Amino acid sequence: MTKDEFYMGKALEEARTAYVVGEIPIGAVIIYEKKAIARAYNLRESLPCATAHAELLAIEKACRALGRWRLTGCTLYVTVEPCPMCAGAIINSRLDRVVYGCDDPKAGAARSLFHLLDNPALNHQVEITAGVREDECAQLMKDFFRARRQKAKETQKTE
């Protein structure tokens, strides 16, 4: 198992926790000097807050852990390609690298829809590694949305 696969496993643990509590199963972990300094999963429904994405929550925790807003020297592992909002936070926090599991064809800002993270027009570019444990990350999302649709059908039948 590679280092990236290992740390993506930690992000998958977070995503599975999100799934269990009814959140879209996206998990994130930030690594600094071979140590996980921040872990988070989506909490938009639980808080409720539109900005409570796993990446943003992990970035906030990492900034507190290091006592600084610049996260140079850090790598973010996230199960799904970051959206434009999260990509902006990744750039602004100066993360060195982002490793993600599966693409997000509807909102991806690393390569699916937009190329924000490594855009040369911006003041910071992030190294991107995509497709780490991709099948597991994608399957978790598929399972979640399949279960959500099934629950919605059952609810309609009982009304």
C-beta separation of 29 from 98 below 8 A: no
Among the listed residues 23, 55, 134, 136, the single catalytic one is 55
The whole-angstrom separation of Cα 18 and Cα 46 is 10
**Per-residue confidence of the chain (159 residues) as pLDDT tens digits?**
999 999 999 999 999 999 999 999 999 999 999 999 999 999 999 999 999 999 999 999 999 999 999 999 999 999 999 999 999 999 999 999 999 999 999 999 999 999 999 999 999 999 999 999 999 999 999 999 999 999 888 877 777
Q: What is the pLDDT of residue 156?
A: 79
**Measured on CA atoms in the order 12, 144, 100, 86, is the torsion positive or negative?**
negative
Q: What is the pLDDT of residue 83?
A: 98
83 marked ligand binding residue:
yes
Cβ neighbors of 120 (< 8 A, separation 6 or more) are: none
Q: What is the pLDDT of residue 140?
A: 98
53 marked ligand binding residue:
yes
Active site residue 154: no
Q: What is the pLDDT of residue 37?
A: 98
Closest listed residue to residue 27, CA positions, set 36, 70, 17, 37:
17
Q: What tokens does 51 get?
A: 């900005």
63 marked ligand binding residue:
no
Q: What is the pLDDT of residue 155?
A: 79
